Structure 1
């Protein structure tokens, strides 16, 4: 019995040393004794994505700004789970940070819908101006701290979404008649495609390629980076610039993990966020051009002869119906002011 107790003590000691060597676990927040806390940041796209690169750079700058007390490790390709799975872990504090798509945020606070509506933003510049304005964004970013223990650190440009299909170029709503178009699993997105003339088919992103390949879907809607990265350009050659959505991504952090940081270190992290967003946004613009060129090499055809005013008019009722409380009206008005 004594020998077993000694062996158990040795194993416990080895385990403690191993954990110490690896840094604090997710949400640890502890910096005593010179320990390093490594925040885990979940991402659902590849290491080539500019948001991944910006997050890695954020980790390096955070480590330098906190004298080695904090850094960030980025987990790409959904290695920590899907966005819907990971956001619950961020809420629990078992994953520290993540990037998340705008539509998912509607399930936590429906006021986020304002930025997910068709033809709300006129340009990426107007979008960036709104997102950088704390007078506009401050309350929204903190709005789920109480209910979900999640803080929104910032909002990022995630491209302009357009329609693509396997049949023909799309120039007007009439061209989408009868076409089964994949949309995100969101009521507002379903209504949008219906108003644009198509047949909305909600579906997980992982099933889209095979559905396009087999004809279950006629098309989908997304930005050029996804069109190329997921090889949809192989099975849906006609990409048309409807420019119907400019949905953002958000950088989230566990509120409890954030609040456990020493004030000086927390301030250092928050001060790094704007430049991180700026780097990700600039990188995204370059990524779009690279993706478009790569898709053209596969034979994809990009069509800019689109009557966007007709699509905008077709979706106006959805926008008006969604701006239905003072909070959303304030956000919408701020966007219109930024649009100029």
Structure 2
């Protein structure tokens, strides 16, 4: 059975669930008193994040739906390693599931870059239209099953990313000159922040706080939830709404683990994904508001007075070069532009 048919139906948002093979717990269900399989799910953020909460709820529902045959354990706070490390473990099967930032996926199939480009989506509704489109994304989401043993289950809303630093508010590109800004570990993110005027410093999320604290970094770029939950607001007080990215997070699973489920359990697994996505995405919108208020109460300064058009102009050549590379990227880009027209900011 082709996984794209089974996995991608309604799956634009499954979240950080942890399932790991762990045998032997009796559940008294219809599994004949047999063992339970627990998938490990790796997550690089905290237990307060809506994706974590949605994944935990998903695990409970999965256990009930499969009469105890399957469950999930979520490992937050990079307990299983950085995203770059864990995705290799997912590929070799020692971890079954993970949440991952979109840019990391470019290392496996460079066409993922389209959804990671700066100023790609007009807003939340436009992005959701794209990730609700199974037909548009099925080839991309199953493109690394053969080479890496990884299936993309869904794409999740991960907020709007902005620049923050320890020096001053950012209004124009000149304000980024000379600042060392952490980006995710991908070529497109390095190119983006350098085009915007800063010095790019690719780094795992777990190292950012100490690097900000010691001055190895001047700043970073992320959404309000990460800024507050990882306490970056303690060491980088100036948060400016450059609004340069609306990249998705993805929920991944080992293709082998997914194929190893019998048809009924796999159907139950897939059927729960839309609920997880809805819980996570809705929770994220509220979480971002709460995070900003908490950061402000701690003394962080939020700057809305940003020349967004100036930053957008600087990165436009990068966008045009990336999307013109092949027909796959052009088709994805054209679909995004149609969604943006239907849902303008």
Normalised TM-score (structure 2): 0.87
Residue 181 of structure 1 is matched in structure 2 by 181
Contact 2:24 2:34 in 1 (8 A): no
Corresponding position of 1:26: none
| 2:120 is aligned with 1:120 | yes
Cross-structure match for 1:335 = 336
Is 1:195 matched up with 2:198?
no
Q: Equivalent residue for 1:104?
A: 104
Cα distance change on mapping 1:297 and 1:266 into 2, 3 Å: same
Classify 1:88/1:288 alpha carbon distance in 2 versus 1 (closer, same or farther; 3 Å). Answer: same
Which is greater in Rg?
1
Q: Please identify which structure carries the higher helix content.
A: 1
Greater alpha carbon shift after TM alignment, 321-330 vs 201-210: 201-210
1:36 and 1:304 map into 2 onto residues whose CA distance is 50
The residue that corresponds to 2:69 in the other structure is 69
Alpha-carbon displacement from aligned partner over 1:164-199 (angstroms, at most 9, x marks no partner): 112221111122222222222222112111211222
Q: Which 10-residue stretch deviates more, 74-83 or 258-267? A: 74-83
CA, structure 1 residues 227+189, in 2 after alignment: closer, same or farther (shift >3 Å)? same
Change (3 A) 1:202 1:73: closer
In the TM superposition, what is the alpha-carbon distance from 1:110 to its structure 2 partner?
0.6
CA distance in 2, matches of 1:32, 1:85: 37
Task: Provide the rounded CA distance (Å) in 1 between the counterparts of 2:191 and 2:78.
Answer: 28
Summarize deviations over 1:27-81 as a string: whole Å, max 9, x none.
xxxx665332222211111111111111111111112222222221212122222
Paired residues of 2:26 and 2:35 also in contact (CA < 8 A): no
The answer as to 2:239 corresponding to 1:244 is: no
Q: Distance in 2 between matches of 1:92 and 1:216?
A: 33
Aligned residues: 316
RMSD, aligned CA: 1.7
Task: Give the direction of change, closer, same or farther, for the CA distance of 1:205–1:22 in structure 2 (3 Å limit).
Answer: farther
Q: CA deviation at 1:82?
A: 2.1
How far did 1:22 drift? 7.3
Aligned equivalent of 1:78: 78
1:149 maps to 149
Separation (CA, whole Å) in 2 of partners of 1:198 and 1:81: 27
Which piece of structure 1 moves more, 83-92 or 110-119? 83-92
Separation in 1 of the partners of 2:42 and 2:146?
22
Deviations 1:84-123 (A, max 9, x none): 2221222122221111111111111111111111000111
What are structure 1's unaligned runs of at least 5 residues? 1-17, 24-30
Residue 262 of structure 2: aligned partner = 262
**Deviation string for 1:252-278 (max 9, x for gaps)?**
111111111111211111121122111
Q: Secondary structure at the match of 2:98?
A: strand
1:325 aligned onto 2:326: yes
TM-score, normalised on structure 1? 0.88
Counterparts of 1:336 and 1:93, CA distance in 2: 37
Matches within 5 A, 1:1-340: 19-21=23-25, 34-323=34-323, 324-340=325-341
For structure 2, the residue ranges without an aligned partner over 5 or more in a row are 1-21
Seen in structure 2, the aligned counterparts of structure 1 residues 19 and 232 have a Cα distance that, compared at 3 Å, is closer
Contact 2:184–2:202 at 8 Å: present in 1 too?
Answer: yes
Task: Report SS of the residue matched to 1:85.
Answer: helix
Assess, with a 3 A threshold, how the Cα gap between structure 1 residues 218 and 75 changes in structure 2: closer, same or farther: closer
